[in-house]
Amino acid sequence: MKPAPFEYLAATSAAEAAEALAAANGDGKIIAGGQSLMPMINFRLVKPTILIDINRIAGLDRIEKHGERLRIGATVRHRMTATDALVHRHIPILHDAMHHVAHLTVRNRGTFCGSVCHADPAAEMPVMTLLLDGTITALSIRGERQIAASDFFVGSLMTALEPDEFVTSIDIDTLPPETGWGFEEFSRRHGDFALACVATTLRIVDGVAGDVRFGMMGVGETPLRLPDIETLVEGQAISEMLLQDVSETLKGLLHPNTDIHASADYRLHLAGALARRALRDAWTRATLRKDGADA
């Protein structure tokens, strides 16, 4: 299929993009990498009156460290996040996760922020943003606003952005060097969207897990943080009994859908299996990293 007609603006400043978005009265769309938007436009699932291209706005294509946070600009491509030295050094779990996003050619164009704005429930960057206590910076002609990741994902493909707002950058936590991590995803083919995915980080403090973060995606309408699991693991050493407890608890917490890709039961089974693996990996890495730091 071919797109329905629309106008096109290659914005050269964030202010220009914000004005055009406001003028479009809810019928405008921002285009970043176009890797999710263009398929929908080609199928005429989305019919904007104007596409506002943010790719030529200077200064949005950077990853910068501000204190303990990394700021990822709106036109930072997946390829850049996957190869960036700051990301590799300070957030190795994000480096790992990037390799599950689509394929080389799609990563060349698709953006971190675009993926978060698209809010596909089976995409990796939304769950990473949630896991890393992300803050989304949105701009409109009314001004700038910060939105916590925990308030941002409203539903499948739905976010807290107002129609006249767009994202200029997202800030995420870096992790202390002794943090261990586990990222486990199951998809049918490499680069496909996940049927289920677990992302977790922890440190070992006095022989038990501390600062536990536990996120999942592919098992609900939005990416999830699971505070119940975090509390369960916090203060414990990883053991077979604890992992058993985690998978049993997950069954009560998750309500996955049945769709053409997988049944709800199968997703629940995957969730338990992936959670065990991810927590084991995180524990092993935290042990190695701690020993490395002690030595």
Partner 1 sequence: MPEKKITLSVSVNGVAHTATVEPRMLLSDFLRHELGLTGTHVGCEHGVCGACTVILDGRSARSCLTLAVQAEGVEIETVEGQGSVDRLGRIQEAFRQHHALQCGFCTPGFIMAITDMLRHHPLESDEQIREALSGNICRCTGYEHIVNAVRELARERGPLT
Ligand X SMILES: Cc1cc2nc3c(=O)[nH]c(=O)nc-3n(C[C@H](O)[C@H](O)[C@H](O)COP(=O)(O)OP(=O)(O)OC[C@H]3O[C@@H](n4cnc5c(N)ncnc54)[C@H](O)[C@@H]3O)c2cc1C
Question: What are the backbone dihedrals phi and psi of residue 114, each rounded to the nearest 5 degrees, phi first?
Answer: -60, -40
Check if the beta carbon of residue 167 is closer than 8 Å to that of residue 74: yes
**The pair of three-digit structure tokens given for residue 6, joined into one six-digit string:** 């629309």
> With binding defined as CB under 8 A, does residue 103 bind partner 1?
yes
Q: Which class for 138: exposed (0-12), middle (13-18), buried (19 or more C-beta within 10 A)?
A: buried
Which residues fall within 8 angstroms of residue 225, CB to CB, at 6 or more apart? 130, 131, 150, 213, 214, 215
Can you tell me which of 14, 18, 33, 171 binds ligand X, judged by CB under 6 A?
33
Residues between 109 and 138 with contacts to ligand X, criterion CB under 6 A: 110-111, 113-115, 117-118, 123-125
Can you tell me which of 102, 116, 198, 278 binds partner 1, judged by CB under 8 A?
102
- Least distance (Å) from ligand X to the CB of residue 38? 6
Residues between 232 and 251 with contacts to ligand X, criterion CB under 6 A: none
C-alpha–C-alpha distance, residues 98 and 94, integer Å: 6
- Least distance (Å) from partner 1 to the CB of residue 35? 6
> With binding defined as CB under 6 A, does residue 167 bind ligand X?
yes
- Contacts with ligand X by CB under 6 A lie at 29-37, 54, 74, 101-102, 106, 110-111, 113-115, 117-118, 123-125, 161, 166-167, 191-193
- Contacts with partner 1 by CB under 8 A lie at 1-8, 10, 31, 34-35, 38-39, 42-43, 49, 51, 53, 55, 79, 102-106, 108-109, 189-191
